[in-house]
Every structure is written in C-alpha cells, then in structure tokens.
Amino acid sequence: MTEQTQAVENSSPSIGVSIFRIISGVLGHFVVKRFLFFLFVVWLASTVIFIIPRLSGQDPVKEKLLLEAQRGGAMQTGLDAMAKSYQKRFGLDQPMWVQYTNFVTDLAKLNLGVSIAFFPRTVNDIVFESLMWTLGLMGTVTILAFILGTLAGAILGWPRKPGWLQYVFMPLLTLSAIPQYLLGMILIFAFAFKLGWLPLFGGYAPATMPNLSFSFIVEVLRHAILPAFAIIFSSIGFWAIGMRGMMINTQGEDYMIQADAKGLKGSRIFMRYAVRNALLPQVTGLALVMGTIITGQVLVERVFSYPGVGDILFQAIRLSDFFVIRGIVIVIVLGIAGATFLLDVLYPLLDPRIRVRNS
Amino acid sequence: MSTEQAIQTYREGARITDVDALVIEGFSVYYETDAGTVKACDDVTFTLKQGERFALVGESGSGKTTLAMGLMRLTRPPGHIASGSVTLNGRDVTKLSDSEMRKTRLSELALVPQGAMNSLNPVMRIGRQIIDGILDHLDEDAGVPTKDELQETVRDLLIRVGLRPGVARLHPHELSGGMKQRVAMAIGISLQPNLIIADEPTSALDVVVQRQIMQTLGRLQEGLDASIMLVGHDMGLVAQFADTIGVMYAGKLVEVGPVEEVFSEPKHPYTTLLIRSLPSLQEKREFLGIPGLPPQLIHLPQGCAFADRCPSRFEKCDESIPQMINLGGRRKTACHLYEGEGQS
C-alpha cells in the first residue's frame, strides 16, 4: 500500500513535468515560435487596418449612398434611414468593441465580409478569384525572372567566363532601368497594336467563359505573354546585378582560394562554392519580393487590364469599396508575413550557420 | 624562445634524403600596377630535399605568401609569374597546362592555408569538403569509389589528424579554430602529396594548440615522407619545427641554411638583427627591434634593399644588388660582406 502510494507520488509529478516539458519544448521549437510571431504580426496589422478608417470619421455607407444619390440626382430624403439600414446590415451600428470582436472572429475564420460596390458578392470571392490570376502570372514570372537573373549574374560575376558574354548580358541588364509599366506599354504598342500578334488587354478574350479546355488555356497563355515579358525583362537586371555583386564578393573569400588550391574542377567551384554562397542573400530578396508581388504589379496589371488583385484594388479604391480594400490589404499582410515565416523556416536549411539549436 | 632552447629542441633523426623534391630557380612574381611594377617576389632560388622541413620567414610584406601562392600558380591578377622555373618531381610546374596544374594541386602539391578560419566552405559539411578534392582527382580509367569507400577514407583522414570521425557530419562554424586547422590538414594530406605548403598554419591559434598542430603536421609529414614548406614569421616555432630556414627580405631570399647554424651564427645582417630581436628568458634586456622600415617594393633602391637599415653598410651596398653566395655546408647568403668567402 505504502509502496503504491509512493510510486504514485513519484510518478505523478514526473508526468506533470514531462507534459510541461513537451509543451515548453513545442513552444520553444523555433518553427512554432516563428509561427506565433507570424500570427502576432497578422493580428497587429489587421488591428491597425481596423482602427485607421474609423479614425478618419468617414462613413463608407453614407458616402457611397451620397455618391449614388448625386449621380442619380434623386431627392436626399430617406437617405439617412437607408444609411442606417445598410449600417445595420454591415454591423456598423454596433459599439466599437463589438465591431472589433466580430472583425477578429471573422478574420480568424478567414471571412473578409461583403463588398459594397459589388454587393452581394463576398470579398473572399472577389479577392480569391483575382488572386488566382495574380499568383498564376506574377508568381511564375517572378520565379522565372529570379532564376534567369541569378544565373546571368552568377556568370557575369565569374572571372573565368568567356569574354563575349559581357557584351550580351550587359545591354540586357539596362532594360531594368525602364519601369515595368512603361515597358508594358511599349510591348503593347509594338506587338499587340502595330503587329497584332498578341491580344491588347485582359486575362482572356472578352467573349469566352473561363473553363479548362485546351483552347481556353492557350488563350490565357497568349494573354500572359506580354505582361510576363514586361516584368521579366525589367526585373532580370535587378536579380543579375545583386548576384553579380555577391559573386565578386565571394571571389575574395579564403574558401575560394582554398577550393582552387584543392585542385577542384572549375564547374564544381562555380556551383558548390561560389554560387552556393552567393545565393544566400538572393533568396532573402526573393522571399521579400514574393511577399509583395500581390501589390507590386498594380501598374502592370492596370496597363494590361489584367484581372488580378492589382486591378481589383484599383477599382475598389475608385469605387471606395472599403471592405474590398481592407480584404486586399489583409491578403497583402498575410502574403508578406507568410513569406517572412517561410523564409525563417526554410533559410536554416540553406545556411547552416543560422540553424537554431533546440537543446 | 631563446636561441639555445631552440637548438635543443631541434628534431633528432630528420629523414632528409638526397632527392630533390622542389627546385626553384630565379622565381619572380610581379604585380603590375598603374604606379609601376611591384616585385613582390624577385629572383628566388632554393632547393628542397625530399623529407626536408623548410621554413620561409620574413616580416609582413616580404613576399613569403606571394612565393608560396606563386609556386601553386594561384597568383591572381594583376600578379603574374614573371620568370623562373619550379621543378616539382622532375616537372616544371610553370610550364604545365591549366588542367595539368589543377590535377597537380592537392595530389602532388598541397596547401594547408593560413589560419584556416575561413578556408572552409561555410555551407558544406566537413566530410563533403574532403571528398570534393578526392573526386576531382580520380583517374579517368579507375572507377568512381563507392559512397562507403569515400566515407571510410574521410574517417581515416580525420583520425590521422586527431579528430573524431563524427566531425565529417559537422559544418565549419561548429568547429574550433584548432579543429578547423586539423580539417585543413586532413584535406591537405588526402591524396598523399610530396610537398605540403603550410602558410602560417598556426596564426590565430593559442600557443598550446599551436604546439599540438605543429606536432600533428610533423607526424603527418613523416608518415607521408613528404617535404614541408612552412611559411611564417614566428621564429620560435620555426626553430622548433624546421630543418632549414630561408629568410626573405623585400621580395628576395637573403639567407638559407640549416636552422641550428643560422640561429647560432647568422650571416646576413638582417638575419642577425632578426634573431637578436627575439626576447630571451635567460637575460632581461631592452626590447630590440630593427630600426627603419622595409623599402617600398615599387621603388627598390639600386643596391641592396636592406642597406638603409644595415649596421654594416659600406660603399658597395649602394652600388649593386648582392647575389646569393654559397658559403659551403648548405649555407648561402646574399650580402656583399661575404663576397670573398664564396665557394663554387
């Protein structure tokens, strides 16, 4: 009996301690830490997003109705009552803390509310649809430009490159001095307007309905070519110049001299010693750019009337559709915070020096 | 380290053979700059026997590292090998094609680099860095060794340099300075070279580790029957380790001879002052330096480069550059004072 109690007494705190250890171990794990930080950033940013429009003292519903009323030239009687009923519909008549609680709960459920301008479509619906277009084009193109630019920079920064390469790459890099939207307009003028090879605007031909048929996919790709080139040509130089600088820096490192002294093959020194080390800051750059691609190309999307987030944001601002603007801003916050989180988690795999030890 | 102690610790039974491992003749490395030619290493001639430990000493900027890098043909532009021949195992390495030179590095001529602090690739595991060198020197006819064979080789090498085999899985930042230096030695001996160039292998290490590293290096060299060219400025370390010493000044070799003889009876005034400047435990005295500064390598005087600082200077020193004089018994010096004593 006494032995049993003793055993229980001995074991119970140890179970408690071990559960505590597991919990603190999980919380202490750097991935979990980074994820909690990610949630914190999203919460903080969305709170700011919640507060700022309310500080302005503007009433989006009333403003919208006033605008419509002016346009229609209608009498303003009953406008206040109408505004009240809409405010009730959007929950804007509630006390501030209730609105905030609702906002945060909705956000946690990833429910971004209902659009004012495109009522009754939900913001989720609008943002998601345009996000597909943006991610599909901009995501692919950004990664492509990163790969091509980094490769070009790596070769340009390599002292044993063939001399003529200098004369091929360097003029290409000057394209990065031209703003993307301007390059876009030049491309539209040349290839769509003058030559008529490619469509002028849009994500697909106006008459077609989006589906998964082969001809529609070809249509989408044809529409994507010009905006893709506008972005690739103007951002290749950005990646190439950064990479070239890092490659030249790497040349001065002791391990590069030692790699030569080890009698390694040129190709191995290039890839495993020079590029591998020069790539590290590039990857940081890529993660940060990926976080901002959603908004980074507003002007390009505008120029090509591409149905992406940038285009929707532009329309939402013009129509003062606060809920869509807010939804897009939250998606941007999620994008940047998410990219930073991914970078934090993946970077240690690339650079062993910053690997956090869990001991 | 006093002179007396140094001679006592001089190694017994050195296995110096009569075979020439490395013959350097009239070797010069110049840097072409806008301001003119910098003769960083000028007309250096000496011979290393198989099994010999040769130490190259001199102050910073005297051309020791330039010489060492030049021998491996690792001189980077604007530097270039201006003249001379470097005969290693009967072949002149200055005449090899780039790809032959690449294969010669590590397999015949290995570098154990300075400090070893950043000489390892920070993003690559130690084992991989050892394997890389082996893989790039395989014979085309012979098959590629299996992963297990390579791992076994790495294991053996790490044990030989006094590291535990588990180090193969670590990254450089997880090692101490001494451990990194040992890894650098493991890479250096991985293909059993006959000449190891150790460029200040113990700088940035504390004295206890320095001693261990030098002992390991000596043991490895004897195991391989290789020769060592030790580049450094730590006279105490050189006295303990080397058989032969070569003193460089302003890009030129000014004195060569067996360590114990050079330390007890230096010939060149620069060597004399260099040895006298070493602090001694036996007697407390004023800290002695060498007055003046070495000349700029871009504006070398017409005569002897050391003349301005030399206590034994006479007319001839300003007129012509002294040539290397053979004093017999493997001793040589480049000084006008000994012109009458030359042997052929």
Q: Do A261 and B110 touch (CB under 8 A)?
A: yes
Taking a C-beta distance cutoff of 8 angstroms, is the pair B191, B133 a contact? yes
Please state the rounded mean pLDDT for residues B182-189: 91
Residue of B nearest to A353 (CA): B173
Element (H, E) at A62: helix A60-72
Per CB-CB distance under 8 Å, the chain A contacts of B117 are 254
- Asked if B105 reaches chain A (Cβ–Cβ under 8 Å), the answer is yes
- Asked if B192 reaches chain A (Cβ–Cβ under 8 Å), the answer is no
pLDDT, position B159: 92
B97 vs A201, more confident: B97
Please state the rounded mean pLDDT for residues B308-336: 86
Whether B114 shows a pLDDT value over 80: the answer reads no
A262 vs chain B: nearest CA distance in angstroms?
A: 5
Q: Do B171 and A352 touch (CB under 8 A)?
A: yes
Q: Do B133 and A262 touch (CB under 8 A)?
A: yes
pLDDT band at B157 (very low <50, low <70, confident <90, very high): very high
Name the residue facing A255 among B119, B137, B173 (closest C-beta): B119
Q: Do B171 and A257 touch (CB under 8 A)?
A: no
What confidence tens digit (pLDDT) does each residue in B238-282 have?
888 888 999 999 889 999 999 888 888 888 989 988 888 887 777
B210 vs A146, more confident: A146
Query: In one letter, which amino acid is B294?
Result: P
B122 vs chain A: nearest CA distance in angstroms?
A: 7
Name the residue facing B132 among A257, A260, A268 (closest C-beta): A268
Name the residue facing B118 among A255, A273, A276 (closest C-beta): A255
Please state the rounded mean pLDDT for residues B218-225: 86
Dihedral pair phi/psi, residue B99, rounded to 5°:
-75, -35
Per CB-CB distance under 8 Å, the chain A contacts of B107 are 263
Please state the rounded mean pLDDT for residues A109-122: 78
What residues 158-177 of chain B have any CB closer than 8 A to a CB of chain A?
A: 171, 173
Whether A56 shows a pLDDT value over 90: the answer reads no
A232 vs chain B: nearest CA distance in angstroms?
A: 30
What confidence tens digit (pLDDT) does each residue in A273-319 have?
999 999 999 998 888 888 777 766 777 788 878 888 888 888 888 87
Whether A122 shows a pLDDT value over 80: the answer reads yes
- Asked if B133 reaches chain A (Cβ–Cβ under 8 Å), the answer is yes
CA-wise closest residue to A199 among A178, A215, A220: A220
pLDDT, position B129: 92
pLDDT, position A21: 74
pLDDT band at B4 (very low <50, low <70, confident <90, very high): very low
Whether B3 shows a pLDDT value over 60: the answer reads no
Per CB-CB distance under 8 Å, the chain B contacts of A272 are 121, 124, 132
- Asked if B225 reaches chain A (Cβ–Cβ under 8 Å), the answer is no
* Protein fold of B1-108+195-202+223-344: Rossmann fold (3.40.50)
Distance CA A72, CA A47 (A): 36
Q: Do A254 and B117 touch (CB under 8 A)?
A: yes
What confidence tens digit (pLDDT) does each residue in B36-45 have?
888 888 889 9
Q: Burial of A238 by CB count in 10 Å (0-12 exposed, 13-18 middle, 19+ buried)?
A: middle
pLDDT, position A8: 45
Does ipTM top 0.85? no
Distance CA B74, CA B29 (A): 11
pLDDT, position B338: 85
Distance CA B2, CA B9 (A): 11
A177 vs A69, more confident: A177
Dihedral pair phi/psi, residue A14, rounded to 5°:
-70, -35
Q: Do A263 and B184 touch (CB under 8 A)?
A: no
Residue of A nearest to B193 (CA): A262
Tokens of B237: 């370390």
When the pLDDT of each residue in chain A is averaged and rounded to a whole number, the result is 80
Q: Do B122 and A277 touch (CB under 8 A)?
A: yes
pLDDT, position B21: 86
Please state the rounded mean pLDDT for residues B37-63: 88
pLDDT, position B155: 93
pLDDT, position B235: 84
When the pLDDT of each residue in chain B is averaged and rounded to a whole number, the result is 85
Domains and CATH numbers, chain A: 2-108 (no CATH), 123-354 (1.10.3720.10)
pLDDT, position A3: 47
Handedness of CA B4, B9, B11, B12 (dihedral sign): positive
Per CB-CB distance under 8 Å, the chain A contacts of B108 are none
- Asked if A264 reaches chain B (Cβ–Cβ under 8 Å), the answer is yes
- Asked if A182 reaches chain B (Cβ–Cβ under 8 Å), the answer is no
SS3 letters across chain B: CCHHHHHHCCCCCCCCCCCEEEEEEEEEEEEEECCEEEEEEEEEEEEEECCCEEEEECCCCCCHHHHHHHHCCCCCCCEEEEEEEEEECCEEHHHCCHHHHHHHHHHCEEEECCCCCCCCCCCCCHHHHHHHHHHCCCCCCCCCCCHHHHHHHHHHHHHHCCCCHHHHHCCHHHCCHHHHHHHHHHHHHCCCCCEEEEECCCCCCCHHHHHHHHHHHHHHHHHHCCEEEEECCCHHHHHHHCCEEEEEECCEEEEEEEHHHHHHCCCCHHHHHHHHCCCCCCCCCCCCCCCCCCCCCCCCCCCCCCHHHCCCCCHHHHHCCCCCEEEECCEEECCHHHHHHCCC
Residue spans per domain, chain B: 1-108+195-202+223-344, 114-192
Mean pLDDT lowest among A73-82, B272-281, B324-333: A73-82
Q: Are strands B252-258 and B91-92 parallel, antiparallel or unpaired?
A: unpaired
A16 vs A102, more confident: A102
Please state the rounded mean pLDDT for residues A311-335: 83
Taking a C-beta distance cutoff of 8 angstroms, is the pair B204, B212 a contact? no
Per CB-CB distance under 8 Å, the chain B contacts of A350 are 123
Q: In b/e form, how buried is each residue of B129-167, taking b as 16+ CB within 10 angstroms? A: bbbbbbebbeeeeeeeeeeeebeebbbebbebbbbeeeb
Whether B294 shows a pLDDT value over 80: the answer reads yes
Please state the rounded mean pLDDT for residues A220-234: 83
**Terminal Cα-to-Cα distance of chain A (whole angstroms):** 39
**Is the N-terminal amide bond of B78 cis, ω within 30° of 0?**
yes
pLDDT, position A26: 66
Mean pLDDT lowest among A146-150, A275-279, B141-145, B268-272: B141-145
